[in-house]
Structure 1
């Protein structure tokens, strides 16, 4: 059987690589949905290295979700200064307010509910629910799409091919570890399977990658 379809084998290989090579980021040290959600909002269109000090300052001032619920929008925007794309902060504030009023202060753990919050799309919802609540939901960001497009030898990121990638990830998540699989693929795309100058020889998928095997 091709290693790509042997889910036990491919997932074990990926997670072993991740266990040894995963990036050290402050939000990786918690499963708190509030902190994971905040990190994903901050990371939109912003580099990890830029986000880390802002994230740390925010968490120092607002360590818990209830602390954010008590804050004013102007206070959050002041803390956000310099990070850019201020609508992210405004949308986060609106979403926090909705959670406080409509969900009794508990961040929804159901995809169809969480995705209704302002600024929360399919990616953020899937990332937070998989990492914080252990749900097997593929979180298709740019890194993951690039990695699996190459592995599956898909040249175009069409809606049809995105669906194929999504279904492959669901197959890999059959035995659990949804959050770890998402984060492992994100790291793989950031560290090795880069848009240019990919480090194929160090990749855990080197023996099962369609693009590498065919020299694409």
Structure 2
């Protein structure tokens, strides 16, 4: 797997390089600016880009805006965004377009190296991976108190679904039956006023895209 890393923190950037190379990845470039990231995409065609959100010069949303450019200009390149915060406007744009090969994880909530590497591989293979907090904030923004109507178990199912898992994967993670998972998912869509979605690993992205298209 060929990877380009964009992160302005030298220590974190070098740590990611060592981590990925130890896992067998080829890091074709590691840069500290969004401008440098896009320049590398002109030269390289990696399988996946790992990018921070806030980078020089303004340290606001340069990385996420670069991710949007990559999704438009190089749709075959998967993108995994790492952030300290949920940048709602650009996150909605990122998730409302092409629904394959995209991920958005919060740095402070990445507690396991193995899970991070698994998430990166899933994104590079065309899957989707979202931090549950990203899903929660975007749903709250679009549906207000409707999220409050979800039961604790339905919130758990939604959070696990956001990780790109199938019904079987959700059942295994939460130690419940697949029929119970299907029932919870139907309840979630009903409470959020959404049409039923097919049981594939991109359901959460379809939900977020749908929400992003509605007032």
| Higher Cα Rg, which structure | 1
Higher fraction of strand: 2
User: More relative contact order in 1 or in 2 (CA 8 Å, sep 6+)?
Assistant: 1
Q: TM-score, normalised by structure 2?
A: 0.27
Higher fraction of helix: 1
Q: TM-score, normalised by structure 1?
A: 0.27
